[in-house]
Amino acid sequence: MVTTNAVREDPIEPGLDGPETNEAAARDSHWQDGYWGPGDTDFGTATPPRFAFADPHAAGLFHADDEHVTIHNRGDGSAAALIFFDGRVELRRLGPGETITLSDEDSFTYVQAPRRADGRPVIYGGVWVHRGRAMPVTIPIPSEREFFDQRYLTPWSADWVSGLAGCRLRDPVEDRITYQFRSGGTTFTVRNAGDTWVAVVHRSGAEYTVVECGPHERVDFKIAPYSTHSDVFSVVGPRRGGSPGHGPYISASGTVHPGWAGRPGAATAYGSVVIMLGSLVYSALPKRNLYLAFSDLRRCGRTHR
């Protein structure tokens, strides 16, 4: 699995672009009051507060370990990250669609939901960074791969048998999913002009990569026009249905146990495009007007993961 560039094509809307969270926090100076952190009467005490726990899978939370460790919120509700460094503590907001990039210095982060009505802090799980890498913890936030497996059909999914065979088909025209490719070119582009997160499964020979494409974004893939193997790009949509999982919990002995993910829902897909020897040989997706390829530099916004 690799990350490619995702480029926003429309004006940025709140909650869609995965920004750093300082701007959102500045708009609401009292958001910290709903979370456990420095200054609270139950923070830094000899006896820890009576924590409650929530399911990070259901909340759409995951962490990725690429150039830096990042924490992502793909859910509809707000969260916060309480980050413990050596000698200091930071509380950062993690709203819907937002991302937090952790520094490479050693740290431990509690990802939390707003406090319950009775005041108890609510913990989704933790992310431990050591020497710039995410390390195993007792109550983890799902990894990017685990999140993808719950959200989409991927090559490592239990129900990946013959690619998209058996998927519930979605309408790419209705959801505004298109692709762009020029014969002999070195770039293949998937565009998402709709409001639904999708993923692109790219098979190049025997190797697979999976990349998300958010609302009003495009993802670009580099291809070798004279390669002897084919490049297959399959666009998959969010799963439907499934069963709920369970958040972390405390047993009668007082031991904290990790939760578990629910059963993934039915896989959905939009279709595939096959490129071979620099030419299009199969397409089940709408093709975008190639003229627009030359206006990308003028129309596109910033690049992010």
**214-244 pLDDT, tens per residue?**
999 999 999 998 888 899 999 999 999 999 8
Determine which helix (DSSP H) or strand (DSSP E) holds 190, and give its type and residue range: strand 187-192
Residues 6+ apart with CB under 8 A from 103: 68, 129
Regarding predicted confidence, which is higher, 273 or 3? 273
The structure tokens listed for 284 are 């089940």
Return the pLDDT at 268.
96
Nearest residue to 192 (alpha-carbon basis) of 221, 215, 158:
215
pLDDT at 163: 77
Please tell me the predicted confidence (pLDDT) of residue 191.
Answer: 96
* Alpha carbon distance 43, 37 (integer Å): 6
**pTM value?**
0.80
Question: What pLDDT, on a 0 to 100 scale, did the predictor assign at position 244?
Answer: 87
Name the least confident of 106-115, 194-203, 250-259: 250-259
Asked whether the predicted pLDDT for residue 130 surpasses 90, the reply is yes
More confident: 109 or 158: 109
Can you give the pLDDT at residue 20?
53
pLDDT, position 8: 47
- The pLDDT of residue 6 is 52
In which band, very low, low, confident or very high, does the pLDDT at 158 lie, cut at 50, 70 and 90? Answer: confident
Instruction: Say if residue 168's pLDDT is above 60.
Output: yes
**Averaged over 34-50, what is the pLDDT?**
93
**pLDDT surpasses 90 at 176:** yes
Question: For residue 192, is pLDDT > 90?
Answer: yes
Q: What is the pLDDT of residues 142-153, one digit of tens each?
A: 999 999 999 999
Q: What pLDDT is attached to residue 144?
A: 93
Q: Do residues 60 and 141 touch, judged by C-beta distance below 8 A?
A: no
